[in-house]
Structure 1
Amino acid sequence: MLIACQLAGETLVSIGRLLAPSFVFPGPVAGMLLLLAFLGWRRRLPIGLDAMATGLIGILSLLFVPSAVGIVQYGGLILEWGPPLLLALVVSTVLTLLVTVGTYLALARLSNGEKP
């Protein structure tokens, strides 16, 4: 079922790219959304899907190996560009939080009938 959903997702994305070449969406994510829709429609887990999902979660940490290899392989590049990237990440996160809080406070005042 997992492979069928991924194949269906990849097929849908490929058709989308044929119709609109600028269409960009990952096929596995489309397959996961199809699986979610199927499970929501059935309202119960098919036999064996729970055991397979538990097994996949058990080996999920293996997915971190390629990123660790990339960090080791490109360590010099990360040391060179890491501080500016980290600064940009921190600044953008703080700005996002400030805008989010400001929007929430403005909407809270509006919902209470106050002027912003």
Structure 2
Amino acid sequence: MLQSIAIILGAQTLGELINRLTGVPVPGPVIGMLLLLIAFFLWDGLIDRIRPTAGVLLAHLSLLFVPAGVGIIRHGERFMNEGVAIAVTIAVTSVVAMLVTIAAVKGTERLLHLTEKEED
């Protein structure tokens, strides 16, 4: 398990290093995930070696959100002052995202000439 964690953290660290050296506008952990994905394709058995540890990490993923919750509590006064604006922004952007998704699906259906008759 320690080797698997070392591989995962090594990929993340390498991603951070690439991010900082190149200034690519992609977070270091995302670059690390891509590097790990490439490593899975290059080395047979690596994914089987990492899978048990990754499963444990994913099972306890909710613990990783504790710092975000603490950050929210730490800025409680800001939420008291700007909470309505934040809530309205979240609600409006969620509705806009849903409407854009609906429009994209409908547009794609029209573009591909899909109708209900063809689907049946």
Query: TM-score with structure 1 length normalisation?
Result: 0.73
- Which one is further off, 104-113 or 60-69? 104-113
Map 1:53-64 to 2 at 5 A. Answer: 53-64=54-65
Which one-letter code corresponds to 1:35 in the other structure?
Answer: L
Pairing 1:36–2:37 present: yes
Percent identity over paired residues = 32
Equivalence for 1:66: 67
Q: Secondary structure at the match of 2:25?
A: coil
- Supply the distance in 2 between the matched residues of 1:98 and 1:47 (Cα, whole angstroms): 41
Map 1:16-31 to 2 at 5 A. Answer: 16-17=22-23, 23-31=24-32
Aligned-residue CA RMSD (Å): 2.5
Q: Secondary structure at the match of 1:25?
A: coil
Give the CA deviation at 1:113: 8.4
Equivalence for 1:50: 51
* Structure 1 unaligned residues grouped into runs of 5+: 18-22
Give the CA deviation at 1:37: 1.9
More helix by percentage: 2
* Structure 2 unaligned residues grouped into runs of 5+: 1-6, 116-120
- Count residues with an aligned counterpart: 109
- Supply the distance in 2 between the matched residues of 1:58 and 1:104 (Cα, whole angstroms): 34
- Supply the distance in 1 between the matched residues of 2:47 and 2:83 (Cα, whole angstroms): 45
- Supply the distance in 2 between the matched residues of 1:51 and 1:7 (Cα, whole angstroms): 21
- Supply the distance in 1 between the matched residues of 2:112 and 2:55 (Cα, whole angstroms): 44
